[in-house]
Chain A
Amino acid sequence: MTMAAELPKENFRLSMLIFDTRYRSYTIQAVVLGLFILLIVWLGYNVDRNLDERGKELSISFLWQRAGYDIPQTLIPYTNDNVHFRALLVGLTNTLAVAFCGCILATILGVVIGVLRLSNNWLVSRLMTVYVEVFRNVPLLLWVLLSYVILTETMPAPRDFRVTDEMAAAGEAPAAAMSFFDTVAVTNRGTNVPSPLLERGFGSVDLGFVSVNLTFLAIVLVIAGSVYSYRRLKSHARTVQESTGVRPVTWWKSLLILFAPIIALMIALGLHWEVPVLKGFNFQGGILVAHAFTALLLALTLYTAAFIAEIVRGGIQAISRGQTEAAFALGLRPNRTMSLVVLPQALRVIIPPLISQFLNLTKNTSLGVAISYSDLSGTLGGITRNQTGREIECVFLMMAIYLSISLTISMVMNWYNRSVQLKAR
């Protein structure tokens, strides 16, 4: 709508609110706002009446009542004596864990598959096409269910690991054995991995409202320090290179800076690993990664990787052939052409759709309910809602949390996207 410039001044009439394009938008907005407020009032009125009828009232105080149920996999300490809010946090961490691991794994797998799809190896590129089409065109729910059942049906039971006296006497091996130098046991209940334990710690400081774990703080500080020094080293090397044309050798320095301090800290703290051992019905000690987690992660990774592969393929194909030829003309070898010329440009095309895949993956973690994974929708939206009967509160709280996760991810990723895009001037 273009505004006619410099109209002669005329008196305002009420009918201009409808017929004059300059004022009509105010009318429309007022009407829309009015309708919207009416809608809200109507909904609120209905909620009030419905709650009255069922003898309920809205309150989130139930979050501080005892939960009473157990959760199979908890990343933060939790027992059934904790409150529902704690169960919510357990669910949230479980959701975030799957989403985080899933995004990383799906990106790696997706990039590999996307590149292989463009490979000039006929067999491999066809195989990857089949993979992409099969995974994209079947509901994710099926992949979740199938990976769960494959894990629980094909892995050995804990008892298969047992060496009885007769077997030892006869020199027979048990039906199943632990992998990775006898540290990891994959059973049909889950994956038992060693857990890191510290002999000594720095204790914690109580600041009144929150207690700070000094050991944790120390680890974070050391890692942050290493990363900071590493970046300083890199920028120093760049300065030297720009002024002299010769890049100083940095690889051993970077390795030292990155890893030596944390290793030293770990030795000082007395790090050792608690390896799971078969005791009674199950493996004890170490960390048990529930199959619901593994299956959900597997399904999300495989499914999302198929989409990411397509994005990567599209991104690489979008780079004009001339770029590659120019790089060859400069005498760059194929792998340097890929890493220095094609990929950085493809990245700009890839990142925006990649963000939406990350968001999808994060939202799709909620499919864990189908295999009873205790994520946010399993604890808050499932058991807590069911045991307390607080549908409105639980469902809206859950939506709000998912929404803030999504907004955070898209904010961070958009910020990253802006930093890699071409700065158009």
Chain B
Amino acid sequence: MKKSVFLGTLAAAALVSGMASATTLDDVKARGELICGSNTGLTGFGAPDASGNWTGFDVDLCRAIAAAVLGDATKVKFVPTTGETRFTALQSGEVDLLVRNSTWTASRDSELALDFVAVNYYDGQGFMVKKDLGVSSAKELDGATVCIQTGTTTELNLADFFKENNISYQPVNVADDAEAQRQYTAGACDAFTTDASGLAATRATLPDAENHIILPEIISKEPLGPVVRHGDNNWGDVVRWTYYALLIAEEKGITQANVEEVLASTNDEEVKRLLGASGDMGAKIGLDNAAFKNAILAVGNYGEIFSRNIGEGTSINLARGLNALWTQGGLQYAPPFR
């Protein structure tokens, strides 16, 4: 049984198809498909269902970028990555970008040679405990057992927090979110720590949500955002401005439903530039002028994405909080589009 031909074919096919050209943008256009590194499955942010359809907050950003670059929001391939494989996948060129609740830190920016181009979700690390534990502050957790996901910044933050407050803890490492939830529910740890959004998502899906509280301390800043490889600035611009376009759209009241209407009726020059009716903002970064219009048309503005996937009323049930627009007291602020 000589199957070596298999390898030959595979290798040849891979070699031919994979000749990398100069920039990521050209690659994506030539390929006709955006490859987006995503979570292996985190409810609300990015998870596939039984038939392989991906949905979620991060997933929609990928779709928006695909719509902007290729004009078709369905031309995205989602490559699942774990907390441990994600940066390698990006560095090695396996994925074009990573939209996978990854925290922007200095060392990742420098040592790992990555560029965080925007912050699509401002998060912070918190703790969830059972109500009957009688704890109201994280500082009372002396000696507690804490469940923590490995391969993330949270384990470093946790170590720092307990050290600063001079109290001890017993870490229980877990591999993923579902496992953390199981252990926490089974009582194998007193507290569960991860990003506050994750805590809220977990709490919302517990059958007895009212018996669990999220402690007030937020022990870290966790700006989560899309990541690209260092050194390809044009591609970074494409990702960054697609994201900002969604923000501006919310600011200007442009939604998925009314985008054509607004385009026809608006007098706002910034909106016109955004939707490609005047100027050539898209062309300047190598896209179609209608790129951002396509993005909004495909997934809606930032607010719509938020409320559809993780907002109040969904099973995740997160308030906008820090992620409200700057005009509404939040931190989401897009530079002017001109």
Contacts and interface: CB of A to CB of B under 8 A. Distances in A.
A and B together in one complex: yes
Interface of A: 54-56, 68-72, 80, 149, 152-153, 157, 188-189, 279-282, 284, 288, 290-292, 369-372, 374, 378, 382-383, 385-389, 391
B143 interface: yes
Interface residues of B, number: 38
A288 B112 contact: no
Contacts of A374: 173
Identify whether the interface residues of A are mostly helix, strand, loop, or mixed.
mixed
Contacts of A385: 84
B159 A80 contact: yes
17 contacts: A55-B113, A69-B159, A70-B158, A70-B169, A71-B171, A152-B183, A280-B144, A281-B141, A281-B145, A284-B143, A290-B172, A369-B175, A374-B173, A382-B150, A386-B151, A387-B156, A389-B87
Given A69-B156, A280-B143, A153 B186 contact: yes
B177 to A, nearest CB: 13
A86 B240 CA distance: 40
A292 B173 contact: yes
A188 B170 contact: no
A373 to B, nearest CB: 8
A386 B156 contact: no
B155 interface: yes
Interface string B144-155: 110000110001
Contacts of B230: 55
B237 interface: no
Contacts of A371: 175
A80 B160 CA distance: 9
Contact of A189 (B88, B145, B159, B182): B145
Contacts of B172: 72, 189, 290, 292, 372
A68 B156 contact: yes
B187 A157 contact: yes
B13 to A, nearest CB: 20
Nearest to B85: A386
Identify whether the interface residues of B are mostly helix, strand, loop, or mixed.
mixed
Interface string B123-137: 000000000010000
Contacts of A284: 143
Contacts of A382: 84, 150-151
Contacts of A386: 83-84, 87, 150-151
Nearest to B153: A387
Contacts of B182: 149, 152
Nearest to B82: A386
B144 A282 contact: yes
A421 B243 CA distance: 72
A369 B174 CA distance: 9
B31 interface: no
Given A189-B189, A382-B150, A68 B142 contact: no
Contacts of A281: 133, 141, 143-145, 190
What 9 A-B pairs come out closest when comparing CB atoms? Answer: A372-B173, A80-B159, A152-B188, A157-B187, A281-B144, A280-B143, A389-B112, A188-B188, A386-B151
B167 to A, nearest CB: 10
Given A68-B160, A153-B186, 16 more contacts: A69-B155, A70-B158, A70-B159, A72-B171, A72-B173, A80-B163, A189-B172, A279-B143, A280-B142, A280-B143, A281-B133, A282-B145, A290-B172, A369-B175, A383-B151, A389-B87
Counting chain B CB atoms within 10 Å of each CB, the highest count among A56, A386, A391 belongs to A386
A174 to B, nearest CB: 15
A378 B151 CA distance: 10
A387 B150 CA distance: 10
A50 B256 CA distance: 42
A398 to B, nearest CB: 13
A370 B143 contact: no
Contacts of B113: 54-56
Contacts of B91: 54
Contacts of B151: 382-383, 386
Given A54-B91, A281-B190, A389-B111, A372 B175 contact: yes
Contacts of A370: 175
B73 to A, nearest CB: 31
Nearest to A381: B84
Contacts of A55: 113, 230-231
A371 B179 CA distance: 9
A383 B187 contact: no
A54 B141 CA distance: 42
A54 B89 CA distance: 12
Given A149-B182, A386-B151, A70 B142 contact: no
Nearest to A155: B188
Given A55-B113, A372-B150, A70 B171 contact: yes
A284 B142 CA distance: 11
A378 B174 CA distance: 11
A72 B155 CA distance: 11
A193 B326 CA distance: 55
Nearest to A369: B175
B143 A188 contact: no
Contacts of B112: 389
A223 B292 CA distance: 77
Nearest to A72: B171
Contacts of B159: 68-70, 80
Contacts of B169: 70
A152 B147 CA distance: 13
A189 to B, nearest CB: 5
A189 B84 contact: no
Contact of A188 (B83, B87, B175, B187): B187
B143 A282 contact: yes
Contacts of B150: 372, 378, 382-383, 386
B296 to A, nearest CB: 35
Nearest to B145: A189
Interface in B219-238: 230-231
Nearest to B187: A157
Contacts of B158: 70
A55 B111 CA distance: 9
